[in-house]
């Protein structure tokens, strides 16, 4: 099987991200699994078999962490084809609606789901602008 390209999957160790990773690995992509849970990302990489896959620690709520992580990936093997931001917050038990949600939980969700997506897409766009 020929390599289709290099894909970065942010939040790749979770349910949706790992399903995407398994499919892309089957389709011949070289993958970087970026996740706040590095052990889970490394475990997923091990389960994907050969293909030059790797794992990287990333905290998408911290723009400097995003920059450092994606700069490291860029230095090893740029992802010119595919970038997937699949991380997201899963509600805690008992957090069924906004009437029971704490401000801290709200802020965590905003930081992860909105800021994190923005930080990742911004950095990837900067990298592709600078080295298309």
- Report the C-alpha gap between 98 and 93 in whole angstroms: 13
Average pLDDT, the chain: 87
Tokens 């990302």, residue?
41
State mean pLDDT over 103-122: 89
- Residue 79 confidence class, pLDDT cut points 50, 70, 90: confident
Model pLDDT for residues 25-43, shown as the tens digit of each residue: 999 999 999 999 999 999 9
Global pTM? 0.83
pLDDT for 75 beyond 70: yes
Q: What size, in residues, is the chain?
A: 132
Cβ atoms of residues 31 and 7 within 8 Å: yes
State mean pLDDT over 54-70: 95
pLDDT for 80 beyond 80: no
């Amino acid at each position: 099987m020929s390599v289709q390209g290099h894909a970065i999957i942010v939040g790749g160790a979770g349910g949706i991200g790992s399903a995407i990773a398994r499919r892309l690995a089957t389709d011949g992509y070289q993958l970087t699994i970026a996740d706040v849970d590095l052990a889970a990302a490394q475990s997923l990489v091990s389960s994907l078999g050969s293909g030059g896959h790797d794992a990287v620690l990333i905290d998408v709520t911290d723009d400097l962490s995003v920059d450092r992580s994606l700069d490291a990936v860029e230095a090893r093997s740029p992802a010119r084809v595919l970038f997937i931001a699949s991380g997201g917050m899963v509600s805690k038990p008992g957090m069924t609606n906004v009437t029971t949600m704490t401000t801290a939980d709200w802020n965590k969700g905003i930081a992860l789901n909105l800021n994190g997506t923005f930080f990742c897409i911004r950095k990837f766009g900067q990298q592709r602008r600078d080295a298309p």
